[in-house]
Structure 1
């Protein structure tokens, strides 16, 4: 009996530390937007920003003339308040006194902060992480876990349709793949 109790406690302990299942970025986008993206023509990346020339505010702001889905802030209401684990790449916004990122955008692919066009607002998540995370490289993929909120966020850099109060942020390691 004692052995069974010990095994049960070990199992429950392991479950308590288990991570949430991965949320796919497409789950943040309504079906109508997914279909519109699939039907979208190729977009030119021939811009001054793509060549490394930045002469305006904010690298993530949308340009005029893109298909409407590229501006979409339509959300999936069922995601509001949901505990999720989302993989992506950081775009740092604020750091604490120790140089740790406490506020950043999470984007679905590397380089979204320098490539034009950026992801639609419903594919950008503002992450609030008061503990902070030392970011040495924005091309390092992260797992971010916490409570997702449908929340419109706008700043000089970008517009986002979601915010996430992170309880855990960690670098993706080879064993995750």
Structure 2
């Protein structure tokens, strides 16, 4: 009987260990909770956007300036919040999952996008004005993803960095090294 008193706890320990492994495996395959785009913007910028008058696409402030390479930059005259590069420090280094729309920048030899902007609404860098830099995220995805349509929403998961990026197309206040990129499916909604 003395041997049996030690056997029972060891059975429980093995069962607990196996249950822990199963839970860890399940959590490893679960997706991160969705990060809202407004979490990337300081409260002061959120308030400024809420107080901003609606932009009429026929008004002078809606006009953008095309660069030599065809990119659309914001013209002068928009409210300051539309140029804001203010970031949220607590987001730096955070693993996130962000939904948005791609604006392809670079592709690999197979035609897969390896570098793109993620924007909060479709066509954001095509229509004027583009989102503020703190609402644009440069995504680096070395694995590459075939992007057939910029109006197809994506989930992008990875480590977010406060990093100011500027190119001919737009300016961004964040960059993300993506570990996973996938198309948003109906079941996600």
Does the aligned pair in 2 maintain the 1:147–1:166 contact within 8 Å? yes
1:97-144 deviations in Å (ceiling 9; x for gaps): 000000000000001121100000000000000000011111000000
1:39-70 deviations in Å (ceiling 9; x for gaps): 000112138xx9xxx78644441111000100
Higher alpha-carbon Rg:
2
TM-score (norm 2): 0.85
Q: Distance in 2 between matches of 1:56 and 1:44?
A: 26
1:63-112 deviations in Å (ceiling 9; x for gaps): 11000100101111111111111000000000000000000000000011
The answer on 1:33 being equivalent to 2:45 is yes
Higher helix share: 2
Asked which structure has the greater RCO (Cα within 8 Å, sep 6+), the reply is 1
Shift of the alpha carbon at 1:13? 1.4
Aligned match of 1:130: 142
Number of residue pairs matched by the alignment: 172
TM-score (norm 1): 0.90
The answer on 1:117 being equivalent to 2:147 is no
* Change in CA separation of 1:146 and 1:70 when aligned onto 2, cut-off 3 Å: same
RMSD: 1.9
Does the aligned pair in 2 maintain the 1:88–1:106 contact within 8 Å? yes
Aligned match of 1:143: 155
* Change in CA separation of 1:58 and 1:74 when aligned onto 2, cut-off 3 Å: farther
Aligned match of 2:118: 106
Aligned match of 2:97: 85
Q: Distance in 2 between matches of 1:84 and 1:58?
A: 31
Q: Distance in 1 between matches of 2:97 and 2:142?
A: 17
Residue segments in structure 1 that go unaligned for 5+ positions in a row: none
